[in-house]
Every structure is written in C-alpha cells, then in structure tokens.
Amino acid sequence: MIDFPNFSENSHSLLSKFLTKSVFEELKNKKTTKNNSLQQVIASGVAHQDSHIGVYAGDKESYTIFSSLFDPIIKEYHGFSKHQKHNSNTDITQFSGSNPDVENKYIISTRIRVARNIANYPLGTIISNEERKEVEKRIVSALCELKNELSGSYYPLYNMPQKTQAQLIEDHFLFKEGDRFLSSAGLNNDWPNGRGIFHNKEKTFLVWVNEEDQLRIISMQKGGNIKEVFARLIKAVKEIEKVITFSKSDRLGYITSCPTNLGTAMRASVHIFLPKLSADMKKLKSITNHHHLQIRGVNGEHSESKNSVFDISNQRRLGVTEIEAINDLYKGITALIKAEKEKI
C-alpha cells in the first residue's frame, strides 16, 4: 500500500500535474499481469521532483492498466488523445528534404535513433537479471547476422576498459552511466549486467543494449545529410525485425519505457552551431516551438549546451509518422539556419 506522494510547489512534472487524488485512488492497488504497480510507475518522479515527466512503464500492459495516469501525460507531451491511433510511415521516397546545410557550415552531425523492446518481456524497470541477459543474447545474435555496412561487433559493458567507455561517451556514441532518473525507476538494476554496445567499424550504425529500452538503434554521421542517416536506420531496423518481434500496440505504436518515446520511438537530431541565435534564445525557441522541436544540450538529455552548439530534435514521436518527424526536423533546421544567416 502506498501513500499519496507529496509534490513540492516547485515540481512541474507531468506526474505531479496529472496524479490527482482521484486518479491515485483508482490506481493504487492495481497490478499488471507481470506485477507492475503504480508505485513502480511513479518511483522516479517521486524521487526527483525536478523530473519533466516522472513516470516509466514496466510492461506493455502498464499503458492500459494505468491509462488514467498515462493518457493525460501522453496527450500533453505528444498532443495525442486517447481516441487516436498511431500510424507508421518509413517510406523514404516521401521525404522531400535531404540536407538543410549543404554548405556544411552549421550542422556538425546528424543522429537518428529508435527505441525498441522485445515482445512479451517486461520492460527494463522490472525485468529480472536472468531475463535481461536472455534479451541481450537474443539481440546480439540478431545483430551478428547483419551484413555489409551494418556488420559490426558487440562490446559488453562489464569487460569494457574504463578508458574506452569514457571515450565512447565523450564522442557521443555510448550512454552515460548512473542517470538518477533511470536509477530510481529501476532501469539501472544489476548494472552493468546485460548492457553493451554494438557498432560497425565507422560508428555510423550503433545499437545500445538494455539501457532505458532494450534496444536503441542508432544511425549517425558527420554533417547534415538527414536522408542518408534515415535510410541507414530504416534498413537496419527492417533487418533486425526479421529476427526479433518488437513490442508494439495497435494504438500506441512501439512500446517504450518512457511515454515520451512511444509511437515512432524516434528521435532525429542534429548538433548545430548557432552562435548568433544563441544570444537570442527567445527567437531560437520560437522557431523550435513552431516546428515541434526540442532543444537539448550537447551531452544529451539533462545536459547544457556548450559553445553555441545545440542538440535539436523532433519533440513529437507519437501520432506523427517517421516521415513527418524528420520533416519537422528538416523544416525547423532550415528555418533556424535562415534566421542565423539573417542575424547581424
């Protein structure tokens, strides 16, 4: 039995906004078939009052059993109502953009990732040590079948030299260790067991294993060629999907630990140098808001931007197709570069 959590006045998380007393009463004794509870769902947001969202699902069923909490959060973040159904479209011939920075003056690198989890397993917050290892084994065996540009090697975290790990993180290829939001959700349990990274020689195709989601499939390269990065990603996802069935819902698309990633589960980002606009954050934010883009720092979520370099990506992942999401990025980045050039 849990008590209604105390949220401080300064807490602006979607959890504190939507966990009303009546929603709490409705959900407090509910459990999913895999035994996920409200306490588990809200643990991170209760521990960290500075959370933006504050909730994580423990399995696919969490999104229906605890829908009175998840649905309003999903609506507020993605603008996706409980009557809507998510649709996918990865047909690259329908993407009319390509590279918003052909002069190669502003975009440092482009990265597109999707999150995936394997059907019928618990998600990372409540998975057991044994099941996590099983998931790792299945993913690695699927990845080892990839050919040509996508072929690579798997590097488990448990025997990775500290120096290699630090360098991979610094170069933006590997997840950080010890994220406090993930820790409180249970997503760092049994660390570093079952965690690792697969990548090709050029590090243009990478897969994170058992971080926030069981797979984070990543395509990245220097410069701003969004189309090339997207094409590589979609090719890889299709190959992996021949071997592994991903967790998916008719309504919510791909199932992820955090509700912000549902649907396409895709974050398409550029690292972009905007020295003039960085002195006018109001203008920068008005452009990103207009194009449904999110600004992060150069070291990923919860980091600061440095030397006028920003990580800019699609905010909406659910209720938009993959093509719409990369179009948001393409158009928004084109508008930002135009505004940067016009600034004196």
With vertex at residue 285, the alpha carbon angle to CA 284 and CA 289, rounded to the nearest 5 degrees, is 125
* Residues touching ligand ADP, count (CB under 6 A): 17
3-state secondary structure of 257: coil
CA 144, CA 243: separation in Å to the nearest integer?
11
Active site residue 195: no
Q: Does 267 bind ligand ADP (CB under 6 A)?
A: yes
Contact 197, 207 (CB under 8 A): yes
Binding mask 300-319 for ligand ADP (x = CB under 6 A): xx---------x--------
CA 335, CA 272: separation in Å to the nearest integer?
13
Active site residue 316: no
Point out the catalytic residue in the list 260, 264, 288, 321. Answer: 260
Q: Does 269 bind ligand ADP (CB under 6 A)?
A: yes
The one of ligand CIR, ligand ADP, none whose footprint includes residue 291, by CB under 5 to 8 A per kind, is none
CA 101, CA 224: separation in Å to the nearest integer?
6
Cα dihedral 239, 243, 249, 252 sign = negative
Contact 122, 288 (CB under 8 A): no
Q: Does 54 bind ligand CIR (CB under 6 A)?
A: yes
* In the complex, minimum distance from the CB of residue 186 to ligand ADP, in angstroms, rounded to a whole number: 18
CA 174, CA 156: separation in Å to the nearest integer?
12
The one of ligand CIR, ligand ADP, none whose footprint includes residue 51, by CB under 5 to 8 A per kind, is ligand CIR
CA-CA distances (angstroms) from residue 52 to 18, 45, 46, 55, 304? 12, 8, 12, 9, 15
Binding mask 153-192 for ligand CIR (x = CB under 6 A): ----------------------------x-----------
Strand partners, 145: none
Binding mask 109-148 for ligand CIR (x = CB under 6 A): ----------------------------------------
The one of ligand CIR, ligand ADP, none whose footprint includes residue 260, by CB under 5 to 8 A per kind, is ligand CIR
List contacts with ligand CIR (CB under 6 A): 44, 51-54, 181, 258, 260, 301
List contacts with ligand ADP (CB under 6 A): 109-111, 113, 172, 216, 220, 267, 269-271, 296, 298-301, 311
